[in-house]
């Protein structure tokens, strides 16, 4: 197995693999700090507390997670044809790429966790801002953030790779079916929220379920996405 | 450079023959190797080799294992003899055919040839 | 030894049979030409032989095994694809670095020399390179990888005349120094004809001709002379092409033993047919006969109706 070559394929361009995500993250963090500094100086203690509450849901961290979501798509869309071109087998590509996904997820999960620990310890960098310590990365203990961020990134990459592979296999018709299926899933949920008191209560219960079940859900998506991807990639053809 | 009307390997052989006839390659001299010929003429080495092989079979060249190909002793004379033999077929017959079409008698033709030689 | 052997190899896509019952045998350590018009199935055949796509039916042996998911075969194979896609963020230097790791026989010093020779800007994004520079990347990888089985798909698209000559010289020199099986696919034949030892002509997914180039010299002859004499001579012979101007005619046909002499005796002029001309004649004749077959089928359909 020439897994080293596949890993190299994904990481040969260091700036692309590690540089840009971290640069964009730093810019985003700087922006949050500037906003924090403005609010703290202009508003009073109340504004500070309100900002800290509101920023629990701040998506600024997606400046880092966003490029990683695209990683699964580009892995299949751009790197797979090149891997075949270099005479690498599908099995080697899948194994190496899985390793890269794992490594990436771990690398960025560690970065986020370190950021969170510092953020919590310094009271939001002394400005009560939240960047790393948000709902998406987990508001609990540091190890929960580590696990949650790792699972989230890993899952998103696998699902992205699966979708791209399926799109390559079945073309536009897959996308239609995919969107229709997604709509069929989401519509009843939306309708339930709007029309049924019972559904709202049920959804509230689901939302409030513990951290562990939520991790189970993410893991479930990762397993389905990964399984689909691995099954499809073994029969994927160059285009 | 090469005669296009013949299979490539024959053209290669003829080019070496021409070289032997005009003294480029003297007897006992080495001739270019397969690879040198291939690179120079931009042709497949197998074709070049086949051309040289033709000359080895005709005993124009001698293969000395590990050293290369050399012009065989007496090759020049033998070639000249063979070419003379083919000359009639290749040049005289078409010449006469064309002359007949133009109404040139053999005597006139001989006269033209003598005049050209003198000039 | 045989490097590639296929039997009845077929690749069907929903809309088209890209390859239809292809049987070829390519010997080891020779330079083979894979000729055909655009869409003839050349790239599909090479994609099958390198395991990039899967066959619908038929068999193939590449370096003694099936290429599909076969590390042993694929690690000895390099396929320089004309339409190779590179990641948006890649520069030539990235591709070369990966190639250096992927091919066991890679010669870095030689690769560096070629990069310089073809003036390849290695630090520029690949998507910003010209067609010729893209071809140069392929040439560097294809040659420096020294793979026992090397496929070049239209390797000199966009190269200028100087660079093309450079490529032919480099290919010959390195092939001589390191003999290997080379499959050169192209529809620009004249320039490479003399480099090829064996050719396969594909047309509409089928093998139209497979032969050693030395034997092809007699595969077709062009005769010219008075139209009446030409036509009289052609009757009963397999004609590939015929053109007439006034009372004169020129025709290309597939000769049998003794035909050359017969033509000379009939007072016709003979001239050889280049590989390029033979290719054009064969593919044109094939297209015409396909159209004719369709016409006949249509006619009989009408008759039934």
Nearest by CB: C99 against A16, A86, A238: A86
The residues near A97 (Cβ < 8 Å, ≥ 6 apart) are A6, A10, A75, A79, A161
Residue A39 has pLDDT above 50, yes or no: yes
| Residues B67 and B19 both lie in one domain | yes
Asked if residue A148 has pLDDT above 90, the reply is yes
C90 — contact with chain A (CB < 8 Å)? yes
In a domain, B3, yes or no: no
In a domain, residue B48? The reply is: yes
In chain C, residues 101-160 whose CB comes closer than 8 Å to chain A:
101-103
DSSP 8-state assignment for residue C193: G
The verdict on C261 touching A (C-beta cutoff 8 Å) is: no
- The DSSP output letter for C41 is S
For helices B34-41 and C161-177, the axis angle rounded to 10 degrees is 170
Is residue C255 helix, strand or coil? coil
- pLDDT for the residue numbered C99: 94
Is the model's pLDDT at A44 over the cut of 50?
yes
A172's CB contacts (< 8 A; 6+ apart) are none
More confident residue, B119 or C90: C90
B75 or C266, which is more confident: B75
CB-side exposure of C283: number of CA atoms within 13 Å? 18
Same domain, B86 and B44: no
pLDDT tens series, chain C, 305 aa: 899 999 999 999 988 899 999 999 999 999 999 999 998 999 999 999 999 999 999 999 999 999 999 999 999 999 999 888 898 889 999 999 999 999 999 999 999 999 999 999 999 999 999 999 999 999 999 999 999 999 999 999 999 999 999 999 999 999 999 999 999 999 888 889 999 999 999 999 999 999 999 888 778 888 998 898 898 898 888 888 888 888 899 999 888 888 888 888 888 888 888 888 889 888 888 888 877 766 655 555 555 44
Instruction: Name the residue range of residue A66's domain.
Output: 3-170+209-233
What is the average pLDDT across A156-160? 93
CATH number at residue B60: 1.10.10.10
- Distance in Å, alpha carbon of C207 to nearest chain A alpha carbon: 23
Q: What is the layout of strands, in order, in the sheet containing C269-272? A: C238-245, C248-254, C221-226, C269-272
Evaluate whether residue A26 is within a structural domain: yes
Residue A90 lies in a domain: yes
Confidence grade of residue A48 (pLDDT, cut at 50, 70, 90): confident
Least-confidence region, from A68-77, A218-227, B76-85: A68-77
B26 lies in the same domain as B70: yes
Is the CB of residue C273 less than 8 Å from the CB of residue C189?
no
Q: In terms of domains, do B49 and B14 share one?
A: yes
The verdict on B68 and B12 lying in the same domain is yes
C194 vs B contacts (CB less than 8 Å): 8, 41-44, 47
- Quick one: C2-212 is in which CATH superfamily? P-loop containing nucleotide triphosphate hydrolases (3.40.50.300)
d(CA B76, CA B105) in angstroms, rounded, equals 35
Contacts of C74 in chain A (CB under 8 A): 87-89
pLDDT given for residue C299 in this prediction: 56
> Both B98 and B59 in a single domain?
no
Do B29 and B59 share a domain, yes or no?
Answer: yes
Q: Confirm whether A192 is domain-assigned.
A: no
C77 and chain A in contact, CB less than 8 A: yes
Q: Does C51 touch chain A (CB under 8 A)?
A: yes
Shared-domain flag, residues B69 and B100: no
Domain with B91, as residue range(s), is 76-118
Tokens encoding B3:
């005669």
A135: phi > 0 → left, psi -120 to 50 → alpha, else beta; which?
Answer: alpha
pLDDT at residue number C305: 42
In this structure, are B57 and B91 located in the same domain?
no
Q: What does the pLDDT look like over A87-143, one tens digit per residue?
A: 999 999 999 999 999 999 999 999 999 999 999 999 889 888 999 999 888 888 999
- Fold for C216-304, please state it: Alpha-Beta Plaits (3.30.70)
In chain A, the number of structural domains is 1
A198 in any annotated domain: no
Instruction: Give pLDDT, residue C146.
Output: 97
Do B and A touch, counting CB pairs below 8 Å (3 needed)?
A: no
User: What are the residue ranges spanned by the domains of chain C?
Assistant: 2-212, 216-304
Q: Is the domain of B54 the same as that of B85?
A: no
| Rounded CA Rg of chain B | 18
Distance CA A107, CA C227 (A): 81
Same domain for B60 and B21? yes
Query: Pick from C41, C47, C37: which is nearest to C17 by CA?
Result: C41
B100 domain residue, yes or no? yes
Q: Tell me, yes or no, whether B65 and B113 share the same domain.
A: no
Residue B2 within a domain: no
Q: How close C3 gets to chain B, by Cα (Å)?
A: 17
Q: Is the CB of A12 less than 8 angstroms away from the CB of C94?
A: yes
């Amino acid at each position: 197995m020439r897994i080293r070559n596949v890993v190299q394929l994904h990481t040969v361009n260091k700036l692309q693999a590690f540089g840009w995500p971290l640069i964009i993250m730093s810019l985003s963090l700087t922006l949050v700090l500037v906003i924090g500094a403005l609010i703290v100086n202009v508003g009073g203690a109340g504004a500070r507390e309100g900002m800290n509450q509101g920023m629990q849901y701040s998506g600024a961290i997606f400046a880092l997670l966003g490029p990683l979501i695209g990683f699964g798509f580009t892995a299949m869309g751009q790197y797979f044809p090149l891997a075949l071109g270099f005479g690498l087998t599908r099995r080697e590509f899948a194994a190496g790429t899985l390793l890269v996904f794992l490594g990436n997820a771990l690398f960025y999960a560690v970065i986020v966790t370190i950021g969170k620990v510092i953020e919590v310890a310094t009271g939001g960098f002394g400005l009560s801002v939240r960047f790393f310590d948000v709902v998406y990365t987990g508001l609990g203990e540091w190890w929960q953030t580590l696990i949650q961020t790792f699972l989230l990134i890993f899952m998103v990459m696998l699902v992205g790779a699966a979708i791209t592979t399926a799109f390559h296999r079945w073309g536009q018709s897959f996308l239609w079916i995919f969107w229709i299926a997604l709509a069929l899933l989401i519509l009843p949920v939306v309708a339930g929220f709007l029309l049924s008191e019972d559904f709202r209560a049920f959804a509230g219960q689901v939302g409030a379920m513990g951290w562990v079940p939520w991790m189970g859900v993410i893991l479930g998506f990762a397993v389905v996405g990964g399984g689909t991807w691995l099954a499809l990639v073994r029969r994927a053809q160059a285009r | 450079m090469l005669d296009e009307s013949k299979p490539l390997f024959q053209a290669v052989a003829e080019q070496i023959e021409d070289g032997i006839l005009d003294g480029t390659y003297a007897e006992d001299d080495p001739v270019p190797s397969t690879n040198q010929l291939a690179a120079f003429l931009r042709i497949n080495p197998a074709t070049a080799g086949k051309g040289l092989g033709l000359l080895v079979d005709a005993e124009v060249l001698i293969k000395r294992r590990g050293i290369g190909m050399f012009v065989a002793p007496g090759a020049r004379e033998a070639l000249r003899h063979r070419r003379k033999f083919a000359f009639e077929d290749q040049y005289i017959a078409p010449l006469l055919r064309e002359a007949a079409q133009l109404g040139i008698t053999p005597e006139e033709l001989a006269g033209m040839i003598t005049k050209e030689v003198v000039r | 030894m045989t490097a590639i052997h296929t039997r009845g190899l077929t690749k069907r896509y929903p809309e088209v049979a890209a390859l239809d019952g292809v049987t070829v045998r390519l010997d080891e350590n020779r330079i083979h030409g894979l000729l055909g018009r655009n869409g003839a199935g050349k790239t599909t055949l090479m994609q099958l032989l390198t395991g990039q796509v899967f066959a619908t039916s038929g068999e193939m042996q590449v370096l003694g095994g099936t290429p599909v998911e076969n590390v042993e075969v694929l690690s000895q194979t390099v396929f320089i694809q004309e339409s190779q896609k590179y990641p948006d963020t890649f520069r030539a230097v990235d591709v070369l670095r990966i190639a250096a790791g992927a091919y066991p026989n890679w010669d870095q010093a030689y690769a560096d020399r070629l990069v310089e020779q073809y003036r390849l800007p290695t630090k520029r994004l690949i998507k910003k390179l010209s067609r010729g520079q893209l071809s140069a990347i392929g040439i560097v990888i294809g040659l420096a990888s020294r793979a026992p089985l090397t496929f070049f798909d239209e390797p000199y698209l966009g190269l200028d005349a100087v660079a093309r000559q450079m490529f032919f010289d480099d290919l010959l020199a390195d092939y001589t120094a390191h003999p290997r099986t080379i499959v050169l696919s192209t529809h620009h034949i004249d320039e490479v004809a003399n480099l090829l030892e064996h050719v396969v002509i594909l047309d509409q997914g089928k093998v139209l001709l497979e032969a050693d180039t030395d034997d092809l010299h007699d595969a077709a002859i062009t005769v010219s002379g008075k139209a009446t004499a030409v036509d009289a001579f052609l009757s009963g012979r397999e004609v590939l092409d015929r053109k007439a101007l006034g009372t004169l005619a020129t025709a290309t046909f597939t000769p049998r033993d003794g035909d050359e002499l017969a033509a000379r005796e009939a007072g016709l002029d003979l001239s050889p047919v280049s590989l390029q001309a033979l290719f054009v004649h064969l593919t044109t004749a094939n297209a015409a006969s396909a159209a004719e077959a369709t016409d006949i089928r249509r006619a009989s359909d009408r008759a039934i109706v």
